A and B are shown apart, each in its own frame.
Chain A
Amino acid sequence: MLTGKGGTGKTRIAAAIGLASAEQGRRVLVVEVDAQRSALAEAYGIPLAYKPTPVAPNVWAANITFQNALNDWLNHTIRASRIVGLILNNPMVQVFLDATPGAREIVVLSRVVTYLDEFDQVIVDLPASGHAVALLKIPDTANRLMRTGPIHERSGEIISVLRGPDTALGIVALPEEMVVNETVELFGKLEHILPELNVPLVFLNRCAAPTMTDDEHKLLDRLSRIPELSAEANELLLAGRWDAELERATADSLGRLHSEIGVTVVPFPRLGVLGGFDGGPVRVTQQMAGALRRRMLTESRKGTPA
């Protein structure tokens, strides 16, 4: 599962992990949970639906929408199509499903969990941090609120998957002070609501490796202090400062994530001029998968697990 502050690029990273992981020989499914606008479809450049669509060799992607998941749920639990039809067509039942806390989410999460039987790995692009925390809390709430019946049972199953050794959650962040603050906060919240959930990785997107020498920094700083330079000179120096700032922020963020939460940080380089837009979204997904592939190769040479 992947989450992170909005705008950090978690969908693209989920898409890239799907590609890189399938290359290791797994059958992988990448899913969005009840997305109104499918961002995953943009990342793969292929329209997606509820039913898994092949997007690359051994990679499928799907948007687990509530209505379809409900259909599957009912067919699976009840097995009498007449009754299923009655439920799906009854407006009163729909009002209840809409308004009852957690019902929607349990139905969707339950469908995600059942895919674990059909695929070697399921990558879940969760909503942004705050909503992901709310979503991950729901199985427990529903399990306690509904003390019998299918929701009780299915939420129990979801909880045991979330706690299990084969489940992990990665947080996507950016090298920016506020984003790192929120990442640290999110880590703490997850530890509080789901202490058994394994949170081993932070993906730090749009990083710039430090390449500027101290002397270059000094020179940039000195020139920037000169008053009344030409507009051209100011713009050139500003360009230099933006990149110097990103290098510094990358180093700071890596340091803080190590010291404050102590998880492994996987950096992704900034791609292209826009930090990832030249060549379009699909190209970005492929480049990110490439970055993961190189990292996994290095790790396997060193003998550490990918």
Chain B
Amino acid sequence: MNLNELFASHKLIICVGSGGVGKTTTAAAIGLQAAKEGRRVMVLTIDPARRLANALGLQQFGNEETRIRLDNEVSGELWAMMLDTQSAFDGLIRRVSPDLETQDRILNNRVYRHISDSFGGSQEYMATEQLYDVVMSNRYDLVVLDTPPVKNALDFLESPGRLVQFLDKRILSWFLGPYEETRVFGRLFRGTSALVFKLLGYIFGREFLDELAEFLFIFRDLYDGFRDRHQAVLKLFELDTTTFAVVCAPNEPSVAVAGYFLTELKSRSMPCAGVLMNQMHPTLGRSIDPSSVLRSLSEKHADDLDQDTVNQFIARIKINHRRLTGLSMAEQELAASLHPMLESHQSLWQIPRLEGEVHDIEALGRVFERVQVAVPS
């Protein structure tokens, strides 16, 4: 599949990969390319938005849908937005709360404020929340999601599960059992409940458990809302028009992470188009003698320069080029090491590194200029 086919046949592309591999730039470049094909595109990123703003040549943008100014001849539209965890969390509570009173009690609960701020993986979870809204709004032909470089690979797929698991009715009613009627500690603690409660007290301290119970007590009516929402979000990932794209750079740690993503996505039956390998250094693949190719040319242009310059220059270029070809060969080996992991419908796109850093639209437009596609044999 070439990249344009990939962009044209999907409505949601999720870029995953380790940090520092150019994932944000890739997401922005996908957005721009699709806009040039006439589509209305939204690129979503998670804090820090500066990276995406950088790639788009902007100073910054916030958590509002912002249209990126493009050349007049571009028929599509490019939009960008930052996902804001806290406001997404609050928004979710508002959506699933049955009434204003419940909503306010939750939003003002101390445990809630901490959980929404530092809940493991809450960023990733909230990303899927907002993603859902943006996709379902039908305002865009294509949505590109730039995920954070998560340590625990696909946290953002799992976290809703964890949160929902925590709010599972059986667990809630077990935990809240003692609180339901009299809210008198100890009175109703008997049997397993009492024992486990005591065990939890060893770890968390009793006072915290009380506060947590209070929080869950208010939360208990929200479980159905959460579960429905979570299932709707998960359905989004199962659509034919959704795909994951693994982004990596040609170095060992990043390629190892890419392999890990391929395996993980497969084991979760998530659709994945393949791997985009960024920052490649393609070469002609043969040794070139700088002296015969460049010496006479160099002499012609070095009249006013120090007389040793040409010799030094030729010697240096020889070293530089040896380094470049060695680098290129090692990169090709790394790319080849991913081939056995690809399935027949997946591709490996090799994206040459651009000179200079990409932080304007013009440079962004050149990212996919000389892409090479490899499909598994």
Contacts and interface: CB of A to CB of B under 8 A. Distances in A.
Interface of A: 5-8, 11, 36-37, 39, 42, 74, 77-78, 83, 86-87, 90, 92-93, 95-105, 127-128, 130-131, 134, 137-138, 141, 145-152, 174, 176-179, 181-182, 185, 211-213, 215-216, 218-220, 222-223, 226, 229-233, 235-243, 245, 272-275, 277-278, 281
A234 B148 CA distance: 37
A242 B162 contact: no
A99 B51 CA distance: 31
B20 A7 contact: yes
Given A78-B202, A149-B201, A239-B317, A219 B310 contact: yes
Contact of B205 (A90, A92, A150): A150
Contacts of A241: 355
Contacts of A237: 294, 317
B205 A216 contact: no
A179 B21 CA distance: 11
20 contacts: A5-B20, A6-B21, A7-B18, A7-B249, A7-B253, A93-B196, A95-B165, A99-B163, A127-B151, A130-B149, A151-B205, A181-B54, A212-B316, A213-B309, A218-B305, A219-B301, A232-B288, A232-B293, A245-B356, A274-B330
Given A87-B199, A101-B114, A232-B293, A149 B207 contact: yes
Contacts of A213: 306, 309, 312
B354 to A, nearest CB: 11
A274 B326 contact: yes
Interface in B95-113: 110-111
B171 interface: yes
B171 A185 contact: no
B317 A137 contact: no
Contacts of B148: 130
A120 to B, nearest CB: 28
Contacts of B149: 6, 128, 130
B117 interface: yes
Contact of A242 (B151, B256, B322, B324): B324
Contacts of A130: 48, 148-149
A219 B294 CA distance: 11
Contact of A149 (B115, B120, B203, B324): B203
B118 A223 contact: no
Q: Tell me whether chain A's interface is mostly helix, strand or loop, or mixed.
A: helix
Nearest to A244: B320
Interface in B180-204: 195-196, 199-204
B151 A216 contact: no
B214 to A, nearest CB: 13
The 10 residue pairs across chains A and B that have the minimum distance between CB atoms: A6-B19, A149-B205, A7-B20, A273-B326, A99-B166, A239-B324, A239-B320, A239-B321, A146-B208, A148-B205
Contacts of B21: 6-7
A70 to B, nearest CB: 9
A289 to B, nearest CB: 18
Interface in B125-183: 148-153, 162-163, 165-166, 171, 174-175
B288 A223 contact: no
A274 B253 contact: no
A134 B309 contact: no
Contacts of A212: 316
A277 B330 contact: yes
Interface in B318-373: 320-324, 326-327, 330-331, 355-357
B283 interface: yes
Contacts of A177: 357
B19 A273 contact: no
Contacts of A245: 355-356
A99 B161 CA distance: 10
A236 B310 contact: no
A149 B208 contact: yes
B227 interface: no
Given A99-B163, A219-B298, A239-B317, A145 B199 contact: no
A84 to B, nearest CB: 9
Contact of B317 (A97, A229, A236): A236
B283 A235 contact: yes
Contact of B252 (A95, A185, A223, A277): A277
Contacts of A101: 114-115, 118-120
Given A145-B114, A274-B327, A179 B20 contact: yes
A233 B211 CA distance: 71
B204 A242 contact: no
